[in-house]
């Protein structure tokens, strides 16, 4: 007679910090992929990309520390010379260029998004508020750096570095909130 051993299927569970660390690497990759969706505009040195959406999502999905870690990983890889910045560029010169302020804003936005979203109990309207606050941080740093880079006033930097992107970024935020709500419903996260 044949003796079959039953092998139990055990779930492999990772520590929450390991999961979030893996999430940081995943979002660093997504931010880099977002940089490859690159649409240059003829009237501004700032292109359209999908990076903002992934930076804001990192803040919601991973929290402030791990969301910012994903951006830091992305920035370090880019500074090291890998072509992960917008337009398939790499190197420290990109940080000093016209879009460097946006990258600095990327580092801080996940903290802002996460802290607002966590304090406000994840309600949909307040989720939008958190995402727009993160976007404001990105715009503020981007606009300030752009005005210094172009040796122009802040209003000119607003016209070149913020105004053309508002509508597209609103659409990205709407998509991001829809995605977050879908994931939360799917996994029963309140």
pTM for the model stands at 0.88
Return the percentage of the chain with pLDDT > 90, whole number.
77
Tell me: the pLDDT tens digits for 143-173?
Answer: 999 999 999 999 999 999 999 999 999 999 9
Tell me: the pLDDT tens digits for 67-88?
Answer: 999 999 999 999 999 999 998 9
Report d(CA 59, CA 67) in Å as an integer.
5
> Angle of helix 166-187 relative to helix 51-79, nearest 10 degrees?
100
Domains, the chain: 18-179 (1.10.1760.20)
Mean pLDDT along residues 58-64? 94
- pLDDT at position 56 is 97
Torsion of the alpha carbons at 31, 26, 137 and 39, rounded to the nearest 10: 10
Tell me: the pLDDT tens digits for 165-188?
Answer: 999 999 999 999 999 989 888 887
- pLDDT at position 117 is 83
Closest by Cα among 134, 119, 117 to 181: 117
Whether 109 shows a pLDDT value over 70: the answer reads yes
Whether 5 shows a pLDDT value over 70: the answer reads no
């Amino acid at each position: 007679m044949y003796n079959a051993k039953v092998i139990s299927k055990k779930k492999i569970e990772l520590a929450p910090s390991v999961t979030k660390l893996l999430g940081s690497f995943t979002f660093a990759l997504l931010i880099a992929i977002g940089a490859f969706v690159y649409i240059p505009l003829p009237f501004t040195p700032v292109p359209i990309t999908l990076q903002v959406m992934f930076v804001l999502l990192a803040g919601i999905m991973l929290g402030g520390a791990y969301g910012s870690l994903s951006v830091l990983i992305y920035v370090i890889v880019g500074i090291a010379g890998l072509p992960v910045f917008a337009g398939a560029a790499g190197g420290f010169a990109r940080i000093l260029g016209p879009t460097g302020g946006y990258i600095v804003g990327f580092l801080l936005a996940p903290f802002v998004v996460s802290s607002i979203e966590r304090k406000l109990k994840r309600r949909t309207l307040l989720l939008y508020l958190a995402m727009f606050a993160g976007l404001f941080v990105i715009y503020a740093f981007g606009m300030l750096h752009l005005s210094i880079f172009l040796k122009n006033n802040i209003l000119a930097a607003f016209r070149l570095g913020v105004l053309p992107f508002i509508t597209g970024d609103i659409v990205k935020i709407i998509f991001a909130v829809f995605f977050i709500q879908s994931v939360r419903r799917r996994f029963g996260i309140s």
